[in-house]
Amino acid sequence: MSRYARRVASAGDLDPSFAGDGRKAIDFGGTDAARAVLLQPDGRIVVAGGGAAGNSFCVARLRSNGALDPTFGAGGKRVIDFGGDNESAFGAALQPDRKIVLVGGSVTRAAVARLKPNGSLDTKFSGDGKKLFNWRPFDFSSVQAVLVPPSGKILLAGFSGPEGGDIQVGRLNANGALDPTFGVGGKAGVDFGGTEFGLAMARQPDGRILVAGESEAAGAVVARLRANGALDPEFDGDGRVALPGGGTVRTVLVQPDGRIVVAGNASGNDVMTVTRLTPNGAPDTTFAAAGTAEIDFGSLDDFANGAVLQPDGKIVVAGSTQADEDVAVARLDANGSPDATFGVAGKATVDFGVATFGNAVARQANGRIVVAGQRTGGDDFAVARLLG
């Protein structure tokens, strides 16, 4: 045996079975940025965001090995134009029938599109597969997150503004029409006393809806609504919680035991933060230090932009670090401590050769971790897969 031992691949390493070296860049021809990633049951990977020559919604589908899927769109890619400029998808959801719902904004309006499994627009949705609307008349409007529960109705979360706007939650019927049984005319606003931004959403098994984001007055915030859109007073008394330390929440997750995990930068941008709440909205003091774990990659700006739960209770967090301008991925044990079996002391970075941001993360059934974002050197979608 050679005295030079080959290093055994471990969790947090790039997966060489994906695109040759674990990394894939996808070019739509503009300033392209991926902001959402979905995993199909057949192993294919859907990545969505914005870009292309016209600043439109962009979506690509990859085979499990990282190659573009030629059965989707044109050579694995699809661009959706709503007729304006500065368009981008910020969230995506996969329906049980494999249709893909994309949400974002077009100029000043909220935008939603639904695609068939082959990437073509689904004309059963809003007549032509696309819907534009405003949360409030004449306000700037955007959708940042989307869920499709078993009912087939489509839940949306976002914000209105620009000044004095609130977190907004809406529900569409399967045909794209606003559902009048939810909130007021299909919409419900959440006010924390200033200008708020709804950035993330999750749904509990009992139908209650969690929405999280940022408030200029209160910092990182989480709210819970009942299934009909009314604020849930069983959540911290009035349905609203402001996390200590200010900052932003970009992901909200619900554990099987009902506890709530939020990830972002609740104490500023210098470290990633993960906070766990009890089902009633109180800090879970059994998690990390007083309910919040901090993840420091050693730069002045470490951003947590996405997170996912593992079946064993571990939490994977993805974003970026300015220390090396790389994608940053961390994994915590169920109690909030760094997972020593992942990367180096629970942390791993992915170098695309230029400044790259990780914006979204998903976990495959085999435990491998897919991160999507933006490779700034070529202004391309950046997708990486790590061993889990």
Instruction: Look up residue 126 and give its DSSP letter.
Output: T
Domain count, the chain: 1
Q: What is the pLDDT of residues 249-274, one digit of tens each?
A: 999 999 999 999 999 998 766 899 99
CA 286/CA 335 separation, integer angstroms: 7
Of 377, 364, 144, the closest CA to residue 251 belongs to: 144
Q: Above 70 in pLDDT, residue 3?
A: no
Instruction: Specify the pLDDT at position 1.
Output: 36
Instruction: Specify the pLDDT at position 300.
Output: 84
Q: What average pLDDT does range 211-215 have in this prediction?
A: 96
Q: Is 2 within a domain?
A: no
Q: Is 265 within a domain?
A: yes
CA 282/CA 72 separation, integer angstroms: 45
CA 221/CA 213 separation, integer angstroms: 6
Task: Give the tokens for residue 23.
Answer: 């990394």
Instruction: Look up residue 9 and give its DSSP letter.
Output: P
CA 319/CA 359 separation, integer angstroms: 6
Q: Is 99 within a domain?
A: yes
For 202, counting Cβ atoms within 10 Å of its Cβ (0-12 exposed, 13-18 middle, 19+ buried), the class is buried
Beta carbons of 26 and 68 less than 8 angstroms apart? yes
Q: What CATH number has the domain bearing residue 159?
A: 2.120.10.30
4 — pLDDT class (breaks 50, 70, 90): very low
% of the chain at pLDDT higher than 70:
97
Q: Is 377 within a domain?
A: no
Instruction: Specify the pLDDT at position 7.
Output: 57
Instruction: Specify the pLDDT at position 269.
Output: 65
Q: Is 252 within a domain?
A: yes
Identify the domain containing residue 62 by its residue range. Answer: 27-311
**Helix/strand/coil percentages in the chain, nearest 5:** 0, 50, 50
> Alpha carbon of 361 to those of 8, 11, 171, 216, 382: distances in Å?
24, 15, 25, 26, 12
Model confidence, pTM: 0.96
Q: Is 50 within a domain?
A: yes
Q: Is 373 within a domain?
A: no
For the ranges 3-12, 29-38, 312-321, the lowest mean pLDDT is seen at 3-12
Q: Is 4 within a domain?
A: no
Q: What is the pLDDT of residues 327-372, one digit of tens each?
A: 999 999 999 999 999 999 999 999 999 999 999 999 999 999 999 9
Instruction: Specify the pLDDT at position 63.
Output: 98
